[in-house]
A and B are shown apart, each in its own frame.
Chain A
Amino acid sequence: MNHGRWKLYTFLGLGFAFLYIPVLLLIVYSFNESRLVTVWSGFSTKWYAELMQNQQLLDAAWLSVRIAATNACFAVVLGTLAANALVRHGKFRGRTGFQLLLTAPLVMPEVITGLSLLLLFVTMEKTIGWPDGRGFTTITIAHITFSMAYVAVVVRSRLSQMDRSLEEAAMDLGARPLRVYMSITLPLIAPALLSGWLLAFTLSLDDLVISTFVAGPGSTTLPMVVYSSVRMGVSPQINALASIVVLIVSVAVIVAGLSMRQRPATKSSA
Chain B
Amino acid sequence: MLLKKTHLRDRHLSRVLNIGTPYLWLGLFFLLPFAIVLHISMAETALAQPPYTSLMNWVGDGVLQIRLNLQNFVSVFTDELYLAALLNSLWIALVCTIACLLIGYPMAYAIATSPERQRVILLMLIILPFWTSFLIRVYAWIGILKPNGLLNNFLMWLGLIHEPLTILHTQTAIYIGVVYSYLPFMILPLFANLTRLDFSLLEAAADLGCRPFKAFLKVTLPLSLPGIVAGSMLVFIPVVGEFVIPDLLGGPDSLMIGKQLWTEFFGNKDWPLAAALAICLLGLLVVPFVLMQRLESRIGGDEL
Q: Report if A223 contacts B (CB, 8 A).
A: yes
Those of B168-203 within 8 Å (CB) of chain A: 180, 183-184
For the side of the interface on A, what is the size category? 35 or more
Chain B residues within 8 Å of chain A by Cβ, number: 91
Contact of B135 among A103, A106, A206 (CB under 8 A): A206
Those of A125-176 within 8 Å (CB) of chain B: 126, 141-142, 144-145, 148, 152, 156-157, 160, 176
Those of B138-175 within 8 Å (CB) of chain A: 139-144, 146, 148-150, 153
Smallest beta-carbon distance A90→chain B, Å: 7
Contact of A98 among B23, B120, B244 (CB under 8 A): B23
Smallest beta-carbon distance A178→chain B, Å: 7
Smallest beta-carbon distance A70→chain B, Å: 15
Query: CB-CB < 8 A to B136: which residues of A?
Result: 23, 26, 226, 238, 241-242, 245-246
Q: Report if A249 contacts B (CB, 8 A).
A: yes
In the bound assembly, the distance between CA atoms of A96 and B19 in angstroms comes to: 12
In the bound assembly, the distance between CA atoms of A241 and B133 in angstroms comes to: 11
Closest A residue by C-beta to B261:
A111
Q: Report if B109 contacts A (CB, 8 A).
A: yes
- Could you tell me if B26 and A257 are in contact, using CB atoms closer than 8 angstroms? no
Q: Report if A61 contacts B (CB, 8 A).
A: no
Closest B residue by C-beta to A74:
B25
Query: CB-CB < 8 A to A206: which residues of B?
Result: 133-135
- Could you tell me if B139 and A242 are in contact, using CB atoms closer than 8 angstroms? yes
| SS of A interface (majority) | helix
Q: Report if A190 contacts B (CB, 8 A).
A: no
Q: Which of B72-80, B220-228, B231-239 contacts A (4 or more CB under 8 A)?
A: B231-239
Query: CB-CB < 8 A to B31: which residues of A?
Result: 101
Given A20-B129, A234-B143, A253-B128, answer yes or no on A81-B238 (Cβ-Cβ < 8 Å): no
Closest A residue by C-beta to B288:
A107
Given A109-B242, A177-B10, answer yes or no on A205-B133 (Cβ-Cβ < 8 Å): yes
Query: CB-CB < 8 A to B29: which residues of A?
Result: 117, 120, 141-142, 144-145
Closest B residue by C-beta to A2:
B212
Query: CB-CB < 8 A to A88: which residues of B?
Result: 14, 18
| SS of B interface (majority) | helix
Closest A residue by C-beta to B11:
A177
Those of B246-276 within 8 Å (CB) of chain A: 247-248, 258, 261-262, 265-266, 271, 274-275
Given A11-B110, A26-B140, answer yes or no on A117-B153 (Cβ-Cβ < 8 Å): no
- Could you tell me if A87 and B120 are in contact, using CB atoms closer than 8 angstroms? no
Interface string of B281-303 (1 = CB under 8 A from A): 11001000100110011000001
Given A119-B275, A230-B139, answer yes or no on A156-B110 (Cβ-Cβ < 8 Å): no
Closest A residue by C-beta to B239:
A109
Those of A23-37 within 8 Å (CB) of chain B: 23, 25-26, 29, 37
Q: Report if B125 contacts A (CB, 8 A).
A: yes
Q: Report if B81 contacts A (CB, 8 A).
A: no
Q: Report if B107 contacts A (CB, 8 A).
A: yes
Smallest beta-carbon distance A72→chain B, Å: 13
In the bound assembly, the distance between CA atoms of A245 and B128 in angstroms comes to: 12
In the bound assembly, the distance between CA atoms of A242 and B128 in angstroms comes to: 14
- Could you tell me if A112 and B282 are in contact, using CB atoms closer than 8 angstroms? yes
Query: CB-CB < 8 A to B153: which residues of A?
Result: 38
In the bound assembly, the distance between CA atoms of A15 and B275 in angstroms comes to: 39
- Could you tell me if B143 and A160 are in contact, using CB atoms closer than 8 angstroms? no
Query: CB-CB < 8 A to B141: which residues of A?
Result: 22
User: Which residues of A are in contact with B by a Cβ distance under 8 Å?
Assistant: 4-5, 8-9, 11-12, 15-16, 18-20, 22-23, 25-26, 29, 37-38, 78-79, 81-82, 84-90, 92, 94, 96, 98-113, 115-117, 119-120, 122-123, 126, 141-142, 144-145, 148, 152, 156-157, 160, 176-178, 199, 202, 205-206, 208-209, 212-213, 223, 226-227, 230-231, 233-234, 238-239, 241-242, 245-246, 249-250, 252-254, 257, 261
User: Which residues of B are in contact with A by a Cβ distance under 8 Å?
Assistant: 10-11, 14-15, 17-19, 21-23, 25-27, 29-34, 36-37, 40, 50, 103-104, 106-107, 109-111, 113, 120, 122, 124-129, 131-137, 139-144, 146, 148-150, 153, 180, 183-184, 212, 233-234, 237-238, 240-244, 247-248, 258, 261-262, 265-266, 271, 274-275, 278, 281-282, 285, 289, 292-293, 296-297, 303-304
